[in-house]
Amino acid sequence: MNCRPEDMLVYAVTDRAWLKGESLKDQVEKALKGGVTFVQLREKNLDRRLFLEEAATIKELCDSFHVPFVINDDVEIALASGADGVHVGQKDMDVKEARRRLGPGKIIGVSCKTVEQAKAAEAGGADYLGVGAMYPTDTKSDTSQVTVETLKAICRAVDIPVVAIGGIRADRIQPLKGTGADGVAVVSAIFGQPDIEAAARRLKETAEMYLGRHRRRKTVLTIAGSDSSGGAGIQADLKTMLANGVYGMSAITALTAQNTTGVSGIFPVTPEFLAMQIDSVFSDIRPDAVKIGMVSSGELIRVIAERLSYYKAENIVVDPVMISTSGSRLLDEDAVGALKELLLPMAAVATPNIPEAEVLSGICIRSSEDMVRAAEIISREYGCAVLCKGGHRLNDANDLLYRDGGFCWFMGRRIDNPNTHGTGCTLSSAIASGLARGYSLEQAVERAKEYLSGALEAMLDLGSGSGPMDHGFQIP
């Protein structure tokens, strides 16, 4: 398993002292939902049989979030549990011996305090370094501190990822800016907090802001129509992307004359000009994700599919926009066929609402069970994950994600707001933003739903029809 710099962003180290009546599995799951990117299991005194059972359980949980998982010091437990590797200290085991015993393909992390130790660990086969303690810590009373300048020197001296450890809290991350550290390792700042998920989320957002040698702002391209009233389409997408921490770019498929009461005109761009827009983006600022919204003709869909295939685009989110919130039809029959044939098979996830899922699946949806069946049909037919949105006529605000033969529900709450213009555009753009930032699909969906709820709860009231949401509700 490769060890990437982005895996180091929020490195969580378990500590049984913080269990407080919960199971370790429950605590780690909360941390993963909050955005933890790496997990180390540290057990010093646990019975070997229980240690192995625990390691196997946490490994399975981390796999479900696509997060690397290592064991502190213990090679035998790492091998027996199927963990991705081990982390060793300077006095625990020589990195070359750890590599010999683990074999190729496993991750080895090494703690160090000096440039000399860091270089030796890299030369011996370490995949990443834990440098510290950066601040005073209660975990290891005999640990001396490492200066910011030493951390910076280590980051410059090695080419493998570096994580800062020891006494890290969210308010202690900013002083590490400019050191080149790829992330922070924490114990009590996550597991010692009343709300583990919220603590992990805050740490991740702070680390994304200040850390990384090679980290840049993630980028998302939206390919969709322009909404002259600003509540949906390209305008909603770009607002959503900014609010969700990514840099948004656009390729416009059509100009629309619309407002909160309906669409009065659509002016599609030419296929040649759409291709030029996509080429201009990919040839200069490659997107980390792509969101596809309203595309009014099959000819334009074929251009999109051809250019995205050429550039091997990743994290494609398809919002199969067929009917506007106000009831106007936005997709012709030829476009529906091209959407099914070309775009859905490229998608990481499609996000149909109930009427759109009925068109794509060919069945009538009247219940939760129908939603599951429709999503299964779409997923199996086109090979993509499907988020079937329950906000139309049924199932309140609960959405169903179907992928790889299984499904899960994302429970929501009905917000009494008649202004819902652009909800589909907003949700799909927020999902694309999450995927671009490295979140799993499940995490991206959950975060997107939270953002959408916040935008609706802000109760913006503009226009005389179904008005827009407040995409900037988090901005003072």
pTM listed for this prediction = 0.61
CA distance linking residue 261 with residue 109, whole number of Å: 58
Statement: residue 70 has pLDDT above 60: yes
State the pLDDT at residue 412.
Answer: 77
Residue 420 annotated in active site: yes
Q: Is 72 annotated as belonging to a binding site?
A: yes
State the pLDDT at residue 467.
Answer: 85
Catalytic residue, from 424, 434, 438, 467: name it: 424
* pLDDT greater at residue 459 or residue 332: 459
Q: Domain 5-210 belongs to what topology?
A: TIM Barrel (3.20.20)
Residue 389 annotated in active site: yes
What does the pLDDT average to over 114-118?
95
CA distance linking residue 42 with residue 70, whole number of Å: 9
CA distance linking residue 166 with residue 333, whole number of Å: 60
What does the pLDDT average to over 424-434?
94
pLDDT band at 1 (very low <50, low <70, confident <90, very high): low
Strand partners, 123: none
State the pLDDT at residue 218.
Answer: 87
Q: Is 261 annotated as belonging to a binding site?
A: no
Q: Is 45 annotated as belonging to a binding site?
A: no
What does the pLDDT average to over 104-126?
92
In the chain, where the domains are located: 5-210, 219-457
* 3 state SS of 389: coil
Q: Is 331 annotated as belonging to a binding site?
A: no
Q: Is 84 annotated as belonging to a binding site?
A: no
SS (H, E, C) 119-131: HHHHHHCCCEEEE
Q: Is 92 annotated as belonging to a binding site?
A: yes
* pLDDT greater at residue 454 or residue 61: 61
Q: Is 394 annotated as belonging to a binding site?
A: no
Tokens of 458: 């802000």
Catalytic residue, from 204, 218, 389, 449: name it: 389
Of 21-25, 196-200, 220-224, the one with minimum mean pLDDT is: 21-25
State the pLDDT at residue 229.
Answer: 92
Q: Is 193 annotated as belonging to a binding site?
A: no
State the pLDDT at residue 85.
Answer: 94
Tokens of 351: 């996000």
What does the pLDDT average to over 303-318?
96
CA-wise closest residue to 163 among 181, 179, 149: 181
Q: Is 41 annotated as belonging to a binding site?
A: yes
State the pLDDT at residue 58.
Answer: 96
What does the pLDDT average to over 162-174?
94
What does the pLDDT average to over 149-155?
94
What does the pLDDT average to over 366-384?
94
What does the pLDDT average to over 21-28?
93
Q: Is 315 annotated as belonging to a binding site?
A: no
State the pLDDT at residue 314.
Answer: 93
What does the pLDDT average to over 300-323?
93
CB 234 within 8 A of CB 67: no
State the pLDDT at residue 199.
Answer: 96
- Write down the mean pLDDT value for the chain: 90
CA distance linking residue 402 with residue 386, whole number of Å: 5
Residue 422 annotated in active site: yes
Statement: residue 384 has pLDDT above 80: yes
CA distance linking residue 234 with residue 319, whole number of Å: 13
Strand partners, 318: 292, 350
Of 243-247, 418-422, 442-446, the one with minimum mean pLDDT is: 418-422
Residue 33 annotated in active site: no
Q: Is 296 annotated as belonging to a binding site?
A: no
Instruction: Give the CATH class of 219-457.
Output: alpha beta
pLDDT tens, position by position, 103-113: 878 999 999 99
Task: Return the exposure string of 254-269: e unless at least 16 CB atoms fall within 10 Å of the residue's CB, then b.
Answer: bbbebbbeebeebebb
What does the pLDDT average to over 158-182?
93
Give CA angle at 21 (15, 24), nearest 5°. Answer: 40
Q: Is 309 annotated as belonging to a binding site?
A: no
Catalytic residue, from 155, 423, 426, 449: name it: 423
Catalytic residue, from 112, 230, 425, 467: name it: 425
In the numeric block, the tokens 């957002």 are attached to: 205
Q: Is 167 annotated as belonging to a binding site?
A: yes
State the pLDDT at residue 143.
Answer: 58
CA-wise closest residue to 222 among 329, 304, 297, 335: 304
Residue 423 annotated in active site: yes
State the pLDDT at residue 330.
Answer: 59
* pLDDT greater at residue 396 or residue 9: 9
pLDDT band at 3 (very low <50, low <70, confident <90, very high): confident
Catalytic residue, from 14, 222, 420, 426: name it: 420
State the pLDDT at residue 392.
Answer: 53
Task: Return the exposure string of 67-89: e unless at least 16 CB atoms fall within 10 Å of the residue's CB, then b.
Answer: bbbbbbbbbebbbebebbbbbbe
What one-character-per-residue DSSP string does 178-204 give?
A: TS---EEEESHHHHTSSSHHHHHHHHH
Of 76-90, 163-177, 298-312, 324-338, the one with minimum mean pLDDT is: 324-338
State the pLDDT at residue 292.
Answer: 97
pLDDT tens, position by position, 252-308: 999 999 998 888 898 999 999 999 999 999 999 999 999 999 898 999 999 999 999
The fraction of the chain above a pLDDT of 90, given in percent, is 67
State the pLDDT at residue 379.
Answer: 95
- CB count in 10 Å sphere of residue 39: 24
CA distance linking residue 429 with residue 445, whole number of Å: 10
Q: Is the peptide bond before 289 cis (omega within 30 degrees of 0)?
A: no
